[in-house]
Every structure is written in C-alpha cells, then in structure tokens.
Amino acid sequence: MHELGGAEAAHTAGGPETARLGIWLFLATEVLLFGGLFTAYTVFRMQDPALFHAGSLKLNRMLGAANTVVLICSSLTVALGLAAIREGKIRMLKVFLGLTLLLGAGFLGIKAIEYSEHFARREFPGTDLFFSLYFVMTALHAFHIAAGLAVFSGLLWLAAKGKFDAGYHTPVEVAGLYWHFVDVVWIYLFPLLYLIG
Amino acid sequence: MADGISGASGTGRGYLAETGLRSWAFSLDHKRIGVMYLYTTMFFFLVGGLFAELLRLKLMTPGPGFVSDKTYNVFFTLHGALMIFLFIIPAIPSALGNFFIPMMVGAHDVAFPRLNLAGYWIFLAGIVVVIASLVRPMDTGWTFYTPYSAKSGAAVTLLSFGLFLVGMSSILTGLNFIITIHTQRAPGMTWSRMPLFIWGMYATSVIQVLATPVIGMTFILLAAERLFGVGFFDPAKGGDPLLFQHFFWFYSHPVVYVMILPAMGIISEIIPVFSRKPIFGYKAIAYSSMAIALAGFLVWGHHMFVSGMSSVAAVIFSLLTFSVAVPTGVKVFNWIATLYRGSISFESPMLYALMFIFLFIIGGLTGPFLGSLGTNVQLHDTYFVVAHFHYTMMGGTVMGWLAGLHYWFPKMTGRMLSEKLARRAAVLILIGFNVTFFTMFILGYKGMPRRWAEYPVQYQTMHIIATVGSWVLAAGIIVMVWNFTRSLYRGEAAPGNPWGALTLEWQTASPPPVENFEVIPTVTEWPYSFGRKGAGDA
Ligand code: HEM
Ligand SMILES: [Cu+2]
C-alpha cells in the first residue's frame, strides 16, 4: 500500500510518547464536544429548575446506578488488561478485553431497557427540555460506548493475531485512555440527570 | 540554517515518481495528501466563484432578473457555505500545511500519517454528503440561524451531517499538526528557530482543535431539533434561539483566525526572502499568533449586537473585540518594518504578499466600524459588512494563499511558473477586486442591506460597477489558473532553491524525494538571517 520500505518506521508515528500526546489532545476535543451540552444543561436548568426536578424524578435510578457499576467495572478490566500485556501476558489481555466487551454491551443493553420504559410512558426527545437533554446527552454517550466496543473488538482481533507484547502495546494504552474518559463522562451524567432531582 | 543541496535541480520526479490512482488514493505521504487537498479545495474555490459571478449578474438589475428570490437565497448560501467550509477553512492548513509543515520542521512526515490519510477521506465523505444535500438546496445562509434553519424545507439535517464530517477532518488535521510540531522537529530546531509559517499553523491548529467540536455539537443539536423537535432553540418549548447564535459564533469567530493566521504565516515567510532582510520582530510575530488565537475565543458576541443580548454583554464584547486588533497591528507593523530598506525584488509571490498587506489593511481598518456598538447598529447586515469580510477573507486570506501557491509552486511541482502571466493575473485581480468590493463599502454606507435579491433602483449604478469589477477579477483568476496548468507541463525545471530562501523545505530537491530529506538536517540557526550568515539567532 505504501512504498516506503526501510523508512516504514518513520511512518508509524513517533512511538508511544507521540501517541499518548495525540490521545490526550483528542480527549480535549471530546471535553469541548460534551461541553456544549453541559452548557445547555446549565442554562436551561437555571431557567426552569422545577421542570428539571420533576424530570429527574421520572428516571429509573436503579438502572442508572447499575450502569454506573457496570461501567466502572469495565474501566477496571481495561486497566487490568493493560497491566497484563505490560508483563507480556497476552492470554490475560485477551480475557480482559473480552470482559470489557461484555460489560460495555451490558451497559448498552440496560440503556436500551431504560429507553423502552420511557417510550412506553410516552417520554421522548422533544417531550420537554429535560427529556430532550436527557436523550441527546445519553445517546451521544452511548454512541461513544459503541465506538469503544468497535475499537476493543479490533484490539481483540489484533491480540489474537499476536500483535502485542510487553514491548509494544501502545494501541491498548490509547484505547484504555479513551475508555476511561467515556467512563468519566458518565460519572458526571449520572448525578446530573438522575440524582439532582 | 543547514547548508543543504541548494543547487539540486528538478530533473527527477521525486515524490511524484509513482503514478496511477492507487498511488495517490492510498498514499501516506503528507505531500501527496496535501496535493489532494489542494485540488479539492481549489475546485470548490472555482465553484464558489461561479456562484459569486451568478450573484453579481443577478444584482445588475434591481428587479427580479433571471432568477427568483428563492433561487437567489440558494445562490448566496451555496456561495458562502462552499467558500467557507470547503475552501477557505481547509485551503491553507490542509493543503499547504500538510505539504510544508513536515518539510519545514525537518521531518520525514507528520506524526500520524495514517490518521492524516483518514482525515482526507473523511473530508471527502463529508463533501459527498454535502453534495447529496443539494437535492433540496440550502437557503438559510451559511450561518444556519434558527428558527428558520430548524424549519426550512431544505436538506439542513443532511448538510449538518456533511459539515460535521468536514469538521472532524479539520480536528484530526489540527491534532496531527500540533503533535508533529511538538515531536517531529529536526535536531537543533528549537521553538525560537521555527519558521513563522509553523508558528502560524500551530496557533491555527489550536483553534481548530478547540473550536471545531463546539460547531460539531451545534450541528448535532440542529439535526436533533429538526428530527425530534427537541426544542433547545425554540422559545415555544422553553428553548432559546440565542443559544444557537452563541454556539455558532463561539466557533465561527475563532474560525476567521483559522482563515487568516496561516495566510499571515505565509506572508511572514515571503517578506524576508524577497527583501533579503532578517524578519523584524520574530518573537512578536510568533507570540502575536498565539495571542490572536486565544483572544479570538473571547469576542464572538460582536456578531450579535443587534440580536437582543444584554447591553452589558455587548459593551464587554465590543471592548474585547478591539483587543484583538493589537496583535494584528503588531504583525502588520513588523512586515512593513522588514520591508523598510530591504533590497526588494518584485517576483510574483512578493506581488501577492504586498497585495495581501494592502488589502488586509483596508479590511482591518474597516473592522472597528463594525466592532463599535454605535456604528454597528447603522452598518449591521449592510453591504459594508460584505465589503469588510471580502477584504479580509479574499483580500487577506486568498491573496496569502495565492502568494503561497506562487512561492511554493516550484517546490511542489519541480517547475517554474511564468512570471509574465503571473504579473498579468495579479494586475487584473488587484483592479477587479477593488472595483468589486470597494464599491460595496459605498453601497453599505448608503444603506444597501445584504442578502437582498431586489433593491431600490437608486443603488443600481453601484451594483453595475461591482458586477463589471467581478468580471475583471474572474479574468485574472482565469489567467492564473491557465498559468498553473501550463507551467505544470511546460514550465522550465525549477532548481532546489529558486528564491534563495533559508527555510528547510528549500534545502532539498524540487520536487522533494518521498522522505523529504536524504539525511535529516541539523539546524544551527534561525531561518531569517539574510546578509549575516552565521550571526546566530535573533
Ligand atoms: C469573485 C469574487 C467574489 C465575489 C464577486 C463575491 C460576491 C459576493 C456577493 C454578491 C455576496 C452576497 C451578498 C449578500 O447578498 O449579502 C457574497 C456573499 C458572501 N461571500 Fe462572496 N464573493 C467573492 C468571493 C468570495 C470569497 C473568496 C469568499 C470566502 C472565501 C467569499 C465569502 C462570502 C460569504 C461568507 C458570503 C456571505 C454569504 C451569506 O450571506 O450567507 N466570497 N459574495
Ligand atoms: Cu467575529
């Protein structure tokens, strides 16, 4: 595909340090992406606290809390996977990647149950500002989870092909940082939407 | 700077040696990716220009003329949106930046070549979606203000998605540049020895990375508004249309610096080379780029003085707006000081650079009229605004872009341009430009509102003058395009360093080899010490 022969090394970035800088900068852009929504939340909540109070009470706190636990566990499995491959334990990496995939899928499953509950009660995006924000924010977050699942599937495939070892595992590290970020966003969303009522 | 192989001549084909579609479409070479961006953006410059000519033709007559008012709305929206999102924002960063940042910092490539290629494909995908949205063409203007954009029958949702992709590509490119500048510099290239184009691009990339996500979110919300009626911008549902304007301008004001800072970087390269003098006030130019980038985030509200925001906020935004003029003034002063007593040679890159300074000063000086609260109310949404932004965007950025194209053409293609044709084009463009757009200042001052398809007959003479000017301008552009095309095949072979410049991209063959340099150069000096070689840094 590329015709660079011996200089190939120069074309796979400048090593883990460069990749780490890159992902941190990318996460900064993600903060700003979600920042717009958090701004909208603040503005509208100040304008109509009662509506937000009432809306918050209609969310299913049990499912929300369950999802928080699921997501924190998945952050843990990612971290354990990284620790494993740092010591060259490729089998353990595969196990933990698999667990992460399961937990992430679990999160999306629970979210789907919540959504269907809302739809059954005729609560939609557009019902009122609270539900509009709730749906847009959680949907965008869920989209990030789904993207993360795609990434981890890719990593699992690469791990199965034996691409990683103690010396080279930058992609695992970078994906891990992304996942922790998505986790942290949820840690903000959960109290903001579910608990402040 | 490094004494390279400045005599090397452009007989070889360098990075252009391989041919065929695949060798381009899947190339990880930053130079090829830059060239692909160049062709793409240039194409949209010409299409956008075509719409401009149609607009001008329509405005020759005060009445309905040859298009309906609705079609006129479509024309100015397409003209504006294509020019802004598909031409001027990506033109210098993605095309020239991609080609020259790695070369000028003395690297083999950008930090993330695969991401770079992905960025181009995302850009192209965005363009395809934008084109698909033309089934029901846009009529909202390039600013997409709600509530109209939430209700318009045009394919706004699709277009938002397309522009979201274009924005994503822009973020990836900016991110890649920042990391490249941080991690891939050649040995010896300290921050204070970086070429000023690199400083300009660094500041630009910071804005791209920090502002673009916000417009991305705005597009998501606009799409949600249309698809689900979420009501964020709809007062009937407790939302606020001003929120949209705040989001929009939080991105779109800083983005005017994404348009202008790279052009300023190009001018800062060309002026010292063609006056054979060290640039005056290197540090001031470098830091003012960063200052502009940061201050640019604080002034978005000056687009909204008459939108119903609080008057305290308006006064604050007005004051902050003036503060941006300071670092801009610093730059202009430093360029002029560099020219002063230089041994100036008027080759085509320099001609365009001088045109940049001249036109940008006019554009810049008319800015404060709009930044001041009182005059803004009189001039808001008149042709004065149209004249102002064309002087800065076209007189500024486009001239800087053209200066860069003429300057780097030998490096990119291994061929020289025809100086004679370049001069003729420059003269036509200069005359046509001023006839077209200076007239608009007068129109605006007399009260002609912008975005009107039909107008009172007293304005007609002025409109006719502007339209004739736009034909001269178009003639200049055609001569220039002809010059590029002809020289690409028949221009004489370019030496490695035709202008005797000291930055690293000239210290290798024209066109450059695939990996830019046979051996990565070691930098021992800053790149502007003309006439005092070995004199050390500034
Ligand atoms: C051949 C040169 C050009 C001519 C004759 C021209 C002419 C015009 C005219 C007549 C309008 C409509 C004004 C109105 O009704 O409000 C307009 C709008 C605009 N032009 Fe140009 N233009 C040219 C080049 C450019 C370039 C190079 C850019 C930017 C890179 C640009 C950006 C814009 C924008 C952003 C608008 C506002 C569109 C809107 O209101 O939504 N133009 N131009
Ligand atoms: Cu502005």
pLDDT, tens digit (0-9, with 9 covering 90-100), for A130-176: 999 999 999 999 999 999 999 999 999 999 999 999 999 999 999 99
A179 is written with which tokens? 């996942």
- pLDDT band for position B140 (cuts 50, 70, 90): confident
Pocket perturbation via mutation, ligand 1, pick of B41, B46, B79 by most ligand atoms within 8 A of CB: B79
B204 versus B143: the higher-pLDDT residue is B204
Q: Do B224 and A125 touch (CB under 8 A)?
A: yes
CB atoms within 10 A of CB B67: 16
Closest by CA to A111, choosing from A194, A47, A26, A45, is A194
Taking the CA of residue B88 as reference, the ligand 1 atom at the shortest distance is: 30
B80 Cα–ligand 2 center, Å: 16
Taking the CA of residue B470 as reference, the ligand 1 atom at the shortest distance is: 5
Report the distance separating Cα B180 and Cα B112, nearest Å.
8
Q: What mean pLDDT is predicted for residues A99-128?
A: 95
Return the residue of A nearest to B248 by Cα.
A36
CB atoms within 10 A of CB B30: 27
Closest by CA to B235, choosing from B246, B227, B225, is B225
Verify cis geometry, omega within 30 degrees of 0, for the bond prior to B511: yes
- Bridge partners, B415 (sequence order): B493
Write the residue in B210, B217, B514 that is nearest to A4 by C-beta: B514
Locus of tokens 């220009």: B49
For residue A197, pLDDT beyond 70: no
CB atoms within 10 A of CB B346: 12
Instruction: Give the global pTM.
Output: 0.91
Write the residue in B183, B221, B243 that is nearest to A18 by C-beta: B183
- pLDDT band for position A14 (cuts 50, 70, 90): low
The reply to whether ipTM tops 0.95 is: no
Q: Measure CA B294 to chain center.
A: 18
Collect all residues of chain A within an 8 Å Cβ-Cβ radius of residue B231: 126, 128-129, 132
Report the distance separating Cα B91 and Cα B393, nearest Å.
12
Crossing angle between the packed helical segments B399-413 and B348-371, to the nearest 10 degrees? 150
For residue A8, pLDDT beyond 70: no
Q: Over the range B268-285, which residues count as b (16 or more CB within 10 Å of their CB) and which as e? A: bbbbbbbbebbbbbbebb
What Cα–Cα distance (Å) separates residue B456 from each residue in A27, B383, B413, B435, B468? 53, 14, 50, 21, 20
Report the distance separating Cα B418 and Cα B491, nearest Å.
7
Report the distance separating Cα B454 and Cα B445, nearest Å.
18
Q: Is B2 on the interface with A (CB under 8 A)?
A: no
Return the residue of B nearest to A135 by Cα.
B230
Q: Report yes or no: A175 and A148 within 8 Å, Cβ to Cβ.
A: yes
Write the residue in B23, B183, B228 that is nearest to A124 by C-beta: B228
For residue A9, pLDDT beyond 50: no
Locus of tokens 């003029």: B325
